[in-house]
Amino acid sequence: MLALFLVIAGLGLIGWLTARLRAVSFRRGSTARFSSLPSHFGGYVALWTVLPAALFLCVWSATSPALVTDRVLHDPAAAQLPPQGFNRAAILSEARSLASGNSFGAFNPLSKKLAPAYAAAQTRNDWIGAAIALLLSFATGGFAYTRVRPDFRARTKIERLMMAGLLAASLIAILTTMGIVASLLFESWRFFNIVPIGDFLFGTHWSPQVIDPADPGKTLGAVPLFWGTFFIGAVIAMLVAIPFGLMSAVYLTQYATPTARRWMKPILEVLAGVPTVVYGYFAALTVAPAVRDFAVSIGITWASSESALAAGLVMGVMIIPFVSSMADDSLAAVPDAMRDGSLAMGATASETIQRVLLPAALPGVVGGVLLAVSRAVGETMIVVMAASGVATLTLNPFASATTVTKQIVDLLTGEAEFDSPKTLAAFALGLTLFIITLLLNIVALTVVKRYREAYE
Amino acid sequence: MSDIAVAPPTSSTPDRVPTDWRTPEMQRRIRRRYGAEQRFRLLGLAAVILSAGFLAVLLVTMVMNGASGFLQTRIALPIDFPSAGLMLDPARLHGPGADLALAGAGIERATDAAAITAFGKDGDKWLSDGAWLNVREAVKRDPAILRGRSIVWVPAADTIDVAAKRQGDPAAEAIVTKLQAAGAISTGFNLPFLTASDSNDPTRAGIWGAFKGSLFTMLVTLLIAFPIGVLSALYLEEYAPRNRWTDLIEVSINNLAAVPSIIFGLLGLAVFLGTFGMPRSASIVGGLTLALMTMPVIVIAGRNAIKAVPPSIRDAALGIGASPIQVVFHHVLPLALPGILTGTIIGMARALGETAPLLMIGMRAFIASPPARLTDPATVLPVQIFLWSDQIDRGFVEKTSAAIIVLLVFLLAMNSFAIYLRNKFETRW
């Protein structure tokens, strides 16, 4: 296969060289103006030589296995195959791996009989594919070569193809989004066929380790997860991130000297660049025991060593630079005239900030906080390493709490088969998470956009 | 105009007297306001310092815990080779048959026996499980030692290693003191940490396998995300007509940039593993998943860089007869490239530190040999850190922190390079 691709690429190179030579020769001695350079002609022929053949090979390699199987089924030995079902497919796949040399022993004697037929059909198909690809390459390349004439606009053709390539590249983003939505929706749909959607969304008991086949919805109620996610990501983490992020932004934009700002801003941004697995390890190794010891010292003897507080605190620190840079941007967007006016009226700097700048920047700050919440809600490694796996509905920050992301990881790392309710539940949780973060982002961007229109 | 300036005082302020700022209550008021100003300012400073302080604590903790992970405790093991019962013909040690001869020589048993003779009943438990490998290497390097009694330095067992570096359990501490008195223990650079792969024994565990997996994964990510990201940025910024389709593309790119990384893992699991049937735990699947995640970052950075190229460049090129494609590929793209590269490096750094999506596609398996191909089961550095952090063995604490140091050094290098690039090639138009 690889050799075939190399041969076709070589043909393309030859096409490029000959077409280029021909273009150079008819340009020489001519005073006419040409629309295309010699290399455009070369590229045109090369593309025609390579692309159709490569496309054909892709299609061929996708359809070839079916053709091979079809041929094997016409073999006399295939008459002994069981009519339909799992056994038939197993024998065929065993014969295939025997024929390709991937395995040496056969479980079923019949597959040993079929293996030679498989090998023969495979070789035959490979040769047919190679021959057609080479013929195609010659035919299309030759056709392109005959069009290399002085008045032919090779450049236009190539540029049209490049535009198509650019468009195709930008469509990948849509494809990815559609892939995410489709895979989440499809698996969730399968999940909601087993578990009623009401049980999942409003049930308050979550313990996927024991699923009752008769009533799987009883232990798959996700409310404790939603609460834990909200409690850790939107309450505790934000209690850390908002004051620190906002005050850092205020200090760095309003008070700090340019030199201090130039040094401190990158340092804060390093906090955002530290991988989350490092934060998670730090939370589990250092912060969680400290939080537990603190809780015990103030008399909460049952405090969990996987408390919501430990995960939330570290997550908050991770979010600080995010809040800070969003606040920074929106403070910078407040017109200077407003600040100067306030200062000129005799207000101190802090009064100006508190009564003029922050209210004016508020929509931007709120938008930034919403984006920060969406980031915190989707954060995985910190909670996987520092939060507990036990879902509880609690208001106590020293108690254990779990989150949606932590449960997705826990559900998918077991050895469960792909379509058990346990695995599918992870996709339902993923869908919920996707929708929540999407909504948060849309709301945040709307808030920010509306605010911008006020001053421009 | 002067009408306004000399307008008579309105009825609301007929008897207004100028404020006397020297009265005690006014002075108090000013002091209070200035005090509030000071406090607010200090509060801001405290927020900045505490945030930076947290970073410092994080880094110092990792360095304190991890520095010893780069060190290895070794024990001097005296072996009397003639009496060790090795089934080894010294003549075969030269030439191609050497490895085979060593493999069947029973060195592992001989090493344990030597340890028991040298250190007592539990002597073999003082040595790392991989100690015999060092003996084998020593024999291979210099077959002459087979003729007599010689001392081979071998790595110590996990408990001894921990006790020698910091507080271990009392029994191990006692052994270390005893060995120190005999001068039979030393500490050196832990080369196997950089060249070995994952292992159950912390003294033998290394990061090379995970590092190679990271390298493969990043290669796939770069090869896919960079061209697609740059091409879509060019299309959206230079050619896209303003219509509903373009809006749809823009909205999906902006949304993808904000989707939690774990969702990309679910996508990879459902599509690459489920639908396309690609191999589990392979670096190619990890690379594809991370590429989808990194692409929006590159597109957004690329669009900003392309936007920064002034229109006069395009006009000049069009004016002398270049086609739209030539304008972009001959003039705009080269000028925007430093900015695009900066964004790409930052996106790649983020992908290098990413863990969650890779857990979803099964890159969390125990893999004891480095991957040789893109389709081999592999793991990556952050996942290796995660796996080691789950180990109960105390020896893994320092290994985890040491691996974190390696990861952070790489991220720092990538980000510094991005900043350097930005500063060097930044053009002010």
What is the third-level CATH fold of A216-455? MetI-like fold (1.10.3720)
Domain assignment present for B171: yes
pLDDT greater than 60 at residue A392: yes
User: How many CA atoms lie less than 13 Å away from A58 in the CB half-sphere?
Assistant: 5
pTM: predicted TM-score of the whole model, two decimal places: 0.85
Q: Are residues B403 and B371 in the same domain?
A: yes
Mean pLDDT confidence for A133-140: 89
Q: Are residues B213 and B240 in the same domain?
A: yes
pLDDT band at A86 (very low <50, low <70, confident <90, very high): low
> In the structure encoding, which two tokens stand for residue B357, read together?
């999506």
Residue whose C-alpha is closest to residue B184's, from B137, B130, B118: B118
pLDDT greater than 90 at residue A239: yes
| Of B189, B224, B252, the domain-final residue | B189
Domain assignment present for B19: no
Chain A residues close to B249, C-beta within 8 Å: 170-171, 173-174
Q: Does A281 touch chain B (CB under 8 A)?
A: yes
Q: Does A383 touch chain B (CB under 8 A)?
A: no
Counting the structural domains of chain B, the total is: 2
Q: How many CB atoms lie within 10 A of CB B273?
A: 20
Q: Are residues B180 and B232 in the same domain?
A: no
Mutate to test the interface with B, among A162, A177, A343, A405 (most CBs of B within 10 A): A177
Q: Whose structure tokens read 């945040």?
A: A444
How many Å lie between the alpha carbon of B166 and the closest alpha carbon of chain A?
17
pLDDT greater than 90 at residue A205: no
> In the structure encoding, which two tokens stand for residue B397, read together?
């604490």
The nearest alpha carbon in chain B to A324 belongs to B48
Q: What per-residue confidence (pLDDT) applies to B10? A: 53
Strands (E), B282-379: none
Q: What is the CA radius of gyration of chain A?
A: 33
Asked whether A316 and A386 are in contact (CB, 8 A), the reply is no
Q: Does A252 touch chain B (CB under 8 A)?
A: yes
Q: Are residues B170 and B107 in the same domain?
A: yes
**How far, in Å, CA of B287 to CA of B376, rounded?**
13
Cβ-count burial of A222 within 10 angstroms (0-12 exposed, 13-18 middle, 19+ buried)?
buried
Asked whether A221 and A202 are in contact (CB, 8 A), the reply is yes
| DSSP-derived secondary structure letter, A283 | I
**How far, in Å, CA of A407 to CA of B422, rounded?**
41
Q: Are residues B123 and B249 in the same domain?
A: no
Q: Does A286 touch chain B (CB under 8 A)?
A: yes
Residue whose C-alpha is closest to residue A190's, from A200, A205, A176: A200
| Of B145, B160, B189, the domain-final residue | B189
Angular region, A346: left φ>0, alpha ψ -120 to 50, beta rest: left
pLDDT digits (tens, 9 = 90+) for A399-428: 888 899 999 998 887 665 666 788 888 999
Q: Does A285 touch chain B (CB under 8 A)?
A: yes
Q: What per-residue confidence (pLDDT) applies to B202? A: 83
Q: Which helix (H) or strand (E) holds B150?
A: strand B149-155
Q: Which amino acid is at B373?
A: R
pLDDT greater than 70 at residue A107: no
Domain assignment present for B39: no
Q: What per-residue confidence (pLDDT) applies to B186? A: 82
With H, G, I as helix, E, B as strand and everything else as coil, classify residue B282: strand
Asked whether A202 and A223 are in contact (CB, 8 A), the reply is yes
**How far, in Å, CA of A201 to CA of A428, rounded?**
10
Q: Are residues B228 and B177 in the same domain?
A: no
Beta-sheet pairing, B71-80 with B185-189: antiparallel
**How far, in Å, CA of A316 to CA of A314, rounded?**
5
Asked whether A411 and A391 are in contact (CB, 8 A), the reply is no
B385 → closest Cβ in A281, A375, A441: A281
Q: What per-residue confidence (pLDDT) applies to A404? A: 92
**How far, in Å, CA of B324 to CA of B321, rounded?**
9
pLDDT band at A432 (very low <50, low <70, confident <90, very high): very high
Q: What per-residue confidence (pLDDT) applies to A452? A: 65
Cβ-count burial of A299 within 10 angstroms (0-12 exposed, 13-18 middle, 19+ buried)?
exposed
Provide the b/e sequence for B413-427 (b: ≥16 CB within 10 Å): ebbeebeebbeeeee
pLDDT digits (tens, 9 = 90+) for A324-363: 998 998 898 888 899 999 999 999 999 999 999 999 888 8
Asked whether A234 and A310 are in contact (CB, 8 A), the reply is no
Domain assignment present for B49: no
Chain B residues close to A273, C-beta within 8 Å: 349-350, 353, 411, 415
Residue B122 Cα distances to A159, B153, B166, angstroms: 77, 18, 22
pLDDT band at A64 (very low <50, low <70, confident <90, very high): confident
> In the structure encoding, which two tokens stand for residue B72, read together?
């290895």
Domain that residue B140 falls in: 71-189
Residues in CB range of B417: below 8 A, 6 or more apart: B345
Chain B residues close to A102, C-beta within 8 Å: none
Domain assignment present for B57: no
**How far, in Å, CA of B178 to CA of A141, rounded?**
81
How many Å lie between the alpha carbon of A351 and the closest alpha carbon of chain B?
8
Q: Are residues B75 and B147 in the same domain?
A: yes
Residues in CB range of A264: below 8 A, 6 or more apart: A248, A252, A256, B48, B52
Q: What per-residue confidence (pLDDT) applies to B3? A: 46
Q: What is the CA radius of gyration of chain B?
A: 33
Q: Does A244 touch chain B (CB under 8 A)?
A: yes
**How far, in Å, CA of A146 to CA of A148, rounded?**
6
Ranking A99-103, A197-201, B213-217 by mean pLDDT, the lowest is A99-103
The nearest alpha carbon in chain B to A440 belongs to B258
Q: Which helix (H) or strand (E) holds A244?
A: helix A237-250
pLDDT digits (tens, 9 = 90+) for B287-307: 999 999 999 999 999 999 999
Q: Does A135 touch chain B (CB under 8 A)?
A: no
Q: What per-residue confidence (pLDDT) applies to B13? A: 57
| Of B189, B224, B246, the domain-final residue | B189
Q: Does A248 touch chain B (CB under 8 A)?
A: yes
Q: Whose structure tokens read 């195709």?
A: A168
Q: What per-residue confidence (pLDDT) applies to B214? A: 93
Q: How many CB atoms lie within 10 A of CB B90?
A: 14
Asked whether A242 and A292 are in contact (CB, 8 A), the reply is no
Q: 10-residue block means of pLDDT along chain B (429 residues)?
A: 49 71 89 94 94 92 88 83 71 67 74 80 78 79 77 82 77 80 82 85 87 94 95 92 88 89 92 83 92 93 92 94 90 91 92 92 83 87 92 84 93 88 75
Residue whose C-alpha is closest to residue A367's, from A402, A339, A330, A407: A330
With H, G, I as helix, E, B as strand and everything else as coil, classify residue B188: strand
Asked whether A43 and A158 are in contact (CB, 8 A), the reply is yes
Q: What per-residue confidence (pLDDT) applies to B428? A: 66
Q: Given an 8 Å threshold on Cβ–Cβ distance, is A170 in contact with B236?
A: yes
Q: Given an 8 Å threshold on Cβ–Cβ distance, is B260 in contact with A438?
A: no
Q: Does A162 touch chain B (CB under 8 A)?
A: yes
Q: Where does A32-147 have alpha helices with state H?
A: 38-73, 86-99, 109-146
pLDDT digits (tens, 9 = 90+) for A286-311: 899 999 999 889 888 787 788 889 99
How many Å lie between the alpha carbon of B100 and the closest alpha carbon of chain A?
26
Residue whose C-alpha is closest to residue B339's, from B220, B214, B218, B237: B237
Q: Are residues B157 and B285 in the same domain?
A: no
Domain assignment present for B53: no
Domain assignment present for B15: no
Q: Given an 8 Å threshold on Cβ–Cβ distance, is A251 in contact with B45?
A: yes
Q: Which amino acid is at A86?
A: F
Asked whether A277 and A385 are in contact (CB, 8 A), the reply is yes
Q: Whose structure tokens read 């949606």?
A: A404
Q: How many CB atoms lie within 10 A of CB A351?
A: 17
Q: What per-residue confidence (pLDDT) applies to B1? A: 42
Residue whose C-alpha is closest to residue A297's, from A394, A398, A445, A385: A398
Q: What per-residue confidence (pLDDT) applies to B74? A: 85
Q: Which helix (H) or strand (E) holds B151?
A: strand B149-155
Q: Where does B322-390 have alpha helices with state H?
A: 324-326, 333-352, 356-360, 381-389
With H, G, I as helix, E, B as strand and everything else as coil, classify residue B270: helix
What is the ipTM metric for this complex?
0.87
User: What's B330's domain CATH number?
Assistant: 1.10.3720.10
Ranking A116-125, A360-369, B291-300 by mean pLDDT, the lowest is A116-125
Chain A residues close to B55, C-beta within 8 Å: 267, 270-271, 274
Chain B residues close to A445, C-beta within 8 Å: 254
Q: Does A86 touch chain B (CB under 8 A)?
A: no
Q: What per-residue confidence (pLDDT) applies to B2? A: 44
How many Å lie between the alpha carbon of B284 and the closest alpha carbon of chain A?
17
How many Å lie between the alpha carbon of A325 and the closest alpha carbon of chain B?
13
Residue A220 pairs in a beta bridge with A206
> In the structure encoding, which two tokens stand for residue A369, read together?
């906080």
B235 → closest Cβ in A170, A324, A438: A170
Residues in CB range of A93: below 8 A, 6 or more apart: none
Residue whose C-alpha is closest to residue A406's, from A392, A431, A386, A428: A386
Angular region, B28: left φ>0, alpha ψ -120 to 50, beta rest: alpha
Q: Are residues B231 and B142 in the same domain?
A: no
Q: Which helix (H) or strand (E) holds B40?
A: helix B24-66
Ranking A6-15, A68-77, B287-296, B412-421 by mean pLDDT, the lowest is A68-77
B234 → closest Cβ in A166, A284, A349: A166
Q: How many CB atoms lie within 10 A of CB B97?
A: 12
Angular region, B393: left φ>0, alpha ψ -120 to 50, beta rest: beta
Cβ-count burial of A365 within 10 angstroms (0-12 exposed, 13-18 middle, 19+ buried)?
buried
Q: Are residues B371 and B273 in the same domain?
A: yes
Asked whether A403 and A383 are in contact (CB, 8 A), the reply is yes
Q: Which helix (H) or strand (E) holds B176?
A: helix B170-182
Q: Show me where the domains of chain A are located.
A: 2-152, 216-455
